[in-house]
Amino acid sequence: MSLARAAVVAALALTATPALAHDVVPGVGGFYGGLLHPLLIPAHLLALAGIGLFLGQQQRPMSVGLLAVFTASLVIGVIAIVSAVSPMYQGEVVLGVAAVAGLLVALARPIRALLSLPLITIAGIAIMLDSVPDDMSMQRTFLALVGTVIAAFILATLIAEATRALAHDWQRIGVRILGSWIAASAILVLAVRLAR
C-alpha cells in the first residue's frame, strides 16, 4: 500500500464516528428509550414536574380533566411527528412551559380551567415534538414515541397525585417553593438558549 493510500485509509478511519441513534441511554432505544426520555432529559423533567405540581394543586375534577387534555395533547404531538411536521424552537417552548407552570405553582392561585388549557395543550405537544429520536426506523421511532407518551403521562399523574396527598400547610408551602425553583431554573436556561 502506498503512503498516499495509507493516508487516505487513515483519514477515513479517523473520521469514522460512532452510529449515534439519539439514545438517551446508549444501547437503549425504541420503546424503552422513549420511556426513559422524559426522565433523563432535564428540561422535560422540569416541565413535567411543573405540570404535575400544577395539576396537583387544582380541584380533582379540573385536575382529571386537564390530565385528559394533557394526554390528548401528547397523542397530538405523536400524530404531528408522524405527519412529518418539522417544528422549530420546541425545546424553548418546553422550557417556557416549565417556567409558566412553575410560576403558577409558586403563586398557588385558583385558575380557571379555560386559562389552563393552552398551557397544558402546548406542554404535551411541545414535549413530544422535542422527543423525536434521530436515525431510527419508522417502527422504532413510533415505539419510542409511545414510550415517551406513557412515561410523560405516568410521571405527570404521579406528581399530581403525590401533590394532592400533601395535607399539611408546610408541605403545600414546600410545593410552592419547588415551583419557584422550577420557574427560576427554566427562566435561566431560556436565557442561556437566547444568548447562544
Partner 1 sequence: MSFERPALKAVLSLALVLASAPAWAHTGSVAGGFFGGLAHPVFGIDHVVAMVAVGLWGAFLGAPAIWLLPIVFPLVMACGGVLGILGVPIPAVETGIATSAVVLGLMVALAARPPLWVAAVLVGAFAIFHGHAHGAELPAGADAVAYSAGFVIATGLLHLCGIAFGTLAAWPAGRLAVRTAGGAIALAGVAFLALQ
Q: Rounded to the nearest 10 degrees, what angle do helices 42-57 and 90-107 cross at?
A: 30
Among 87, 111, 117, 181, binds partner 1 (CB under 8 A): 181
**Is residue 15 a contact point for partner 1 (CB under 8 A)?**
yes
C-alpha cell at 14: 479517523
One character per residue 30-59, x = contact with partner 1 (rule: CB under 8 A): ----------x-xx--x-------------
User: Is 20 one of the binding residues for partner 1 (CB under 8 A)?
Assistant: no
Other beta carbons within 10 angstroms of residue 163's beta carbon come to 23
Name which position in 82, 154, 162, 188 contacts partner 1 (CB under 8 A). 188
Is residue 165 a contact point for partner 1 (CB under 8 A)? Answer: no
Can you tell me which of 10, 79, 82, 162 binds partner 1, judged by CB under 8 A? 10
Number of helices (H), then strands (E), in the chain? 8, 0
Q: What are phi and psi of 113, to 5 degrees?
A: -60, -40
Q: Which of 67, 81, 95, 120 binds partner 1 (CB under 8 A)?
A: 95
Largest CA distance in the chain: 79
Q: How far is the CB of 162 from partner 1 (least distance, A)?
A: 18
* 163 lies in the binding site for partner 1 (CB under 8 A): no
By the rule CB under 8 A, 173 interacts with partner 1: yes
Which listed residue (11, 79, 82, 85) binds partner 1 by CB under 8 A?
Answer: 11
DSSP codes, 35-95: HHHHHH-HHHHHHHHHHHHHHHHS-HHHHHHHHHHHHHHHHHHHHHHHTT---SSHHHHHH
User: Which residue lies nearer to partner 1 by CB, 29 or 179?
Assistant: 179
Q: How far is CA 142 from CA 29, 122, 127, in A?
A: 11, 21, 15
- If one asks whether residue 93 binds partner 1 (CB under 8 A), the answer comes out as no
* CA atoms of 156 and 148, how far apart (whole Å): 12
Residues engaged in binding partner 1 (CB under 8 A): 3-4, 7-8, 10-11, 14-15, 40, 42-43, 46, 95, 103, 106, 173, 176-177, 179-181, 183-196
